[in-house]
Amino acid sequence: MIKNSFFYDIEINDSDVDEIFHNIKEEYSSKKVGYYHLVEQDLSSVKEYAKECEWVKKIVIVGIGGSSLGTKAIDMLLRQTRNVTKEIYFLESVGPNALKAVLSNISFEDTLFIVISKSGTTIETISNFKYILKRFGVDLKEDNKHFCIVTEEDSNLDKFAKKMNLKRFFIPKNVGGRFSVFSSVGLLPLAILGYKVDDFLLGAKTLSERFFSFKYDNLIKKSLFLAKNSKKYPINVLFSYSSTFKGFNEWYVQLWGESLGKIDKRGNRVGLTPVGLVGSIDQHSFLQLLTEGPLDKTVTFIKVNDFKNDVKIPKMSLPFLESTDYVNGYSFNELINSQCDATMESVIKNGINVDLIEIDDFSEKNIGYLIFYYELLTSLTAICLNIDAYNQPGVEEGKIILREKFKI
Amino acid sequence: MIKNSFFYDIEINDSDVDEIFHNIKEEYSSKKVGYYHLVEQDLSSVKEYAKECEWVKKIVIVGIGGSSLGTKAIDMLLRQTRNVTKEIYFLESVGPNALKAVLSNISFEDTLFIVISKSGTTIETISNFKYILKRFGVDLKEDNKHFCIVTEEDSNLDKFAKKMNLKRFFIPKNVGGRFSVFSSVGLLPLAILGYKVDDFLLGAKTLSERFFSFKYDNLIKKSLFLAKNSKKYPINVLFSYSSTFKGFNEWYVQLWGESLGKIDKRGNRVGLTPVGLVGSIDQHSFLQLLTEGPLDKTVTFIKVNDFKNDVKIPKMSLPFLESTDYVNGYSFNELINSQCDATMESVIKNGINVDLIEIDDFSEKNIGYLIFYYELLTSLTAICLNIDAYNQPGVEEGKIILREKFKI
């Protein structure tokens, strides 16, 4: 269902592989890192609530970063291949124009607002939430079915929600925001939209078992290669062939950048810079830099074998434009995948280390596998780099300075 | 109206500045590079055609790369602050799902398709164009008011359009795709949408005169700094504070990456890697990598002083959430700009070279200035790096391989 092929030699000692495998198994068993165990969760309350939400026509996610990126990524990937009738909007930042634009699209009566914040006091999220309350003149006691809260148990947001009698779902304490898409953070809105949420977990579980029980060592080798060469190839490009991967690329950029940009145990600044590209669009943009610019990048191509969509390029010859007829009669699916293959060949020829992830089709199971693949790769690479993948100390200072600015 | 401040020392010799200024003035006068002179163009035919397009409710741009990114960038920046009633869609890539989704949003009767390709034979563009012709059963002789062609004069697409009696606009031969937003490529759709196209040129002209007549040397110093430190700081981050800058960031990534990733005159692979971020969203994503990861990046912040939108955070204190009340009563405009300032301070404290571009407001004139600022900076940096900013030899190989794949 998902195949990963490498077009470069990874020379890795078996003993290194064993060491990394040992370390990640310890992390897995310690229960300090919770996302590994989301595949085992009971989804009945999520699915029950989703059923109760038949009245909902529009969902507004009030959340930023890990609270929005995963849901957006998956919905963008799958929506066009499904019969999804409910719309979803994201209120992330506090740009006043975007705020106005989103809210002008909805009417309160058929809208569910899902307010998501792990800490419970994210300034953007609570400010937007307050604005919604005022804008629609909400009386939370009467209107409480329009709100649902996803947060850590006992956070201040949870206490507020409990007092106001709002529906609550929890993010496990040991699951970080950027690893939380398969907690209620992602699965709740995705269930309401009608996606098969069990299948996401099934896909993730398939890889989890393959890895932890059968030591699928491709992933360990890849992470060791990326970590060992982090100075030679500090930039990791994800080149996804379909514009519906835009949200997935953004999710990847957060996961990779925020987990792997750290001061290591020896006090050195380390990290790998993620770049997300979309094919074939970025063949007309970033590709030139890949093929002729500095050799400081690795590239992973993602290709979907079967889009389940047989729209074809018409067998039509237009006067003076006959030179484009060589693709006539082929499907757009074939064209975009051939573009992926051709670009990949040319990038490899230019001396760049390339690997390819092939996905059979856009099933929930495959997406679950793909998401878990990147989460696991991130954890492994952090172990190889000797850093903590799960904290983000470097963003605290800005928050303190912000607070100072508003002190009278 | 636009102010650029530097938070690092640029130690540059006056003689280096003079040399670069001399070189770019030669380029300007040689007329080999045409985008400098777009500010002098006569827009009467564009504006006249825009007037004729009152019947249009939806515009579909059929074009990729330089044919779509600039228009998308500007429309995304300005739409929410204007009374724009016409919708615009972009058919860029050949992903079959996106194609279906875009076309399901439109009805042929009130739609204008603008087909844009400088070369005239871009495979994605012509394939999508053929699909549109078939999908709507178009008879070009009857339906020709629904199509408009933008291409180089005498290209095969131009010859086709002439034969079919379609409306044609031209991209000057000496204006490259990624520098073409102020040719008909961008100004035609933007005029139809109702933007003040003269003002874009006025803004660009303001900077052009400031630079070429009065040698505004900030730009030269910045480009010399970036080029001289291209190995130390190979990554240039643009951190724009408002999600409406998303399209602008993509335009910047193409312009910077495709112009500056080149083999130089000595045969070395050189280039600077562009990364586009949006605040405050990416404070919850990429920021950690900036503050604690390797010191291989420069960062330019973009801030809009006045969003002309006074939506405020309500003076509302929610039980248990009082710790977020410090922003109560302030405008969202103030909050996002304070976030920009706070993040910038924290990034500077972490030893990163930062500069700031402040824009008064979202006027067409300011956007024109900003676009031309980046075009000029790109040209200058290419001169400093000893490379040709205007070609893209590295993307040809993939096109040849693609063609081979379809040979029977």
Mean pLDDT for the stretch of residues B269-290:
96
Is the pLDDT score of B261 beyond 70?
A: yes
Q: What is the mean pLDDT of residues B246-254?
A: 97
Tokens 């809210």 appear where?
A: A103
Phi, then psi, of A274 in degrees rounded to 5: -85, 140
Show the domains of chain B with their CATH numbers.
2-29+199-393 (3.40.50.10490), 35-195 (3.40.50.10490)
How much of chain A exceeds pLDDT 70, in percent? 100
Q: What is the mean pLDDT of chain B?
A: 96
Is B258 annotated as catalytic? yes
CB contact under 8 A, B336 and A93: yes
Euclidean distance between CA atoms A189 and A127, whole angstroms: 21
List the single residue in A126, A297, A405 with the smallest CB-CB distance to B342: A405
Closest residue of A to B263, CA-based? A292
Average pLDDT of the segment spanning B14-25: 95
Q: Is the ipTM of this complex over 0.95?
A: yes
How large is the average pLDDT for residues B124-135?
A: 96
Report pLDDT digits (tens) over A252-278.
Answer: 999 999 999 999 999 999 999 999 999
Where on the phi/psi map is residue A104: left (φ > 0), alpha (ψ -120 to 50), or beta? alpha
**H or E element at residue A397:** helix A396-405
Three state DSSP letters for chain B: CEEEEECCCCCCCHHHHHHHHHHHHHHHHHCCCCHHHHHHCCCHHHHHHHHHHHHCCEEEEECCHHHCHHHHHHHHHHHHHCCCCCEEEEECCCCHHHHHHHHHCCCHHHEEEEEECCCCCCHHHHHHHHHHHHHCCCCCCCCHHHEEEEECCCCHHHHHHHHCCCEEEECCCCCCHHHCCCCHHHHHHHHHHCCCHHHHHHHHHHHHHHHHHHCCHHHHHHHHHHHHCCCCCCEEEEEEECHHHHHHHHHHHHHHHHHHCEECCCCCEECCEEEEEEECHHHHCCHHHHHHCCCCEEEEEEEEEECCCCCECCCCCCCCCHHHHHHCCCEHHHHHHHHHHHHHHHHHHCCCEEEEEEEEECCHHHHHHHHHHHHHHHHHHHHHHCCCCCCCHHHHHHHHHHHHHCCC
What sign for the dihedral angle of Cα A361, A365, A371, A374?
Answer: negative
Cβ atoms of B2 and B348 closer than 8 Å: no
Does pLDDT of B100 surpass 80?
yes
Which three-class secondary structure state does DSSP give residue A302?
A: strand
**Which of B92, B124, B250, B258 does the annotation list as catalytic?**
B258
- What pLDDT, in 10s, does the model give residues B184-227? 999 999 999 999 999 999 999 999 999 999 887 899 999 999 99
pLDDT of residue A10: 84
Q: Which of A394-403, B10-19, B42-51, B226-235 is predicted with the least confidence, judged by mean pLDDT?
A: B10-19
Distance from CA of A242 to the nearest CA of B (A): 5
Residue with tokens 């792990």: A118
Q: pTM of the full predicted structure?
A: 0.97
The type of residue at A129 is: F
How many angstroms separate the CA atoms of A263 and A179, rounded? 20
Q: How far is B394 from chain A (nearest CA, A)?
A: 5
Closest-CA distance, B381 to chain A, in angstroms, reads 14
The alpha carbon torsion through B359, B360, B366, B367 (nearest 10 deg) reads: 50
Q: Could you report the per-residue pLDDT of A52-100, keeping only the tens digit for each? A: 999 999 999 999 999 999 999 999 999 988 989 999 999 999 888 888 8
Is the pLDDT at A101 greater than 90, yes or no? no
Which of B134, B284, B315, B349 is catalytic? The answer is B284
A29 has pLDDT over 80: yes
Chain B residue with the nearest C-alpha to that of A318: B160
Long-range (24+ apart) CB contacts under 8 A made by B142-145 are: B143/B108
- Give mean pLDDT, residues B337-356: 97
In the residue annotation, B284 being an active-site residue is answered as yes
Q: Is the pLDDT of residue B408 over 80?
A: no
User: Are residues B407 and A318, on separate chains, in Cβ contact within 8 Å?
Assistant: no
Q: Can you count the helices (H) and strands (E) in chain A?
A: 14, 12
pLDDT band, residue A290 (cuts 50/70/90): very high
- Spatial CB neighbours of A100, under 8 Å, sequence gap ≥ 6: B80, B309, B311
* Chain A residue with Cα closest to B289: A261
Residue B145 makes CB contacts below 8 A (sequence gap 6+) with B167
B46 CA: distance to closest CA in chain A (Å): 26
Q: Can you give the pLDDT at residue B97?
A: 86
HSE-CB of A387 using CA atoms within 13 angstroms: 29
Confidence bin at A216 (pLDDT 50/70/90): confident
> Residues B244, A95: contact at Cβ < 8 Å?
yes
Residue A290 has, within 13 A of its CA and on its CB side, a CA count of 34
Choose from A289, A346, A399 for mutation: most chain B CBs within 10 A.
A289
Question: Cβ separation of A316 and B134 shorter than 8 Å?
Answer: yes
pLDDT of residue B10: 84
Give the residue carrying structure tokens 């990147």: A374
Q: Do B100 and A309 touch (CB under 8 A)?
A: yes
State residue B318's pLDDT score: 97
What is the pLDDT at residue A408?
64
Q: What percent of chain B has pLDDT over 90?
A: 92
Contact A278 B134 (CB under 8 A): no
Kindly report, residue by residue over A307-342, the tens digit of the pLDDT.
998 899 999 999 999 999 999 999 999 999 999 999
Q: What is the pLDDT of residue A108?
A: 97
Which of B258, B342, B349 is closest, CB to CB, to A402? B342
Which is it for strands B58-62 and B111-116: parallel, antiparallel or unpaired? Answer: parallel
pLDDT of residue A157: 98
Could you tell me how far CA B46 lies from the centroid of its own chain? 20
pLDDT of residue B169: 98
Return the residue of B nearest to A230 by Cα: B294
Give the residue numbers of A marked as catalytic: 258, 284, 399
Tally A–B CB contacts below 8 A. Answer: 379
CA distance A214 to chain B (A): 33
| Mean pLDDT across B257-265 | 96
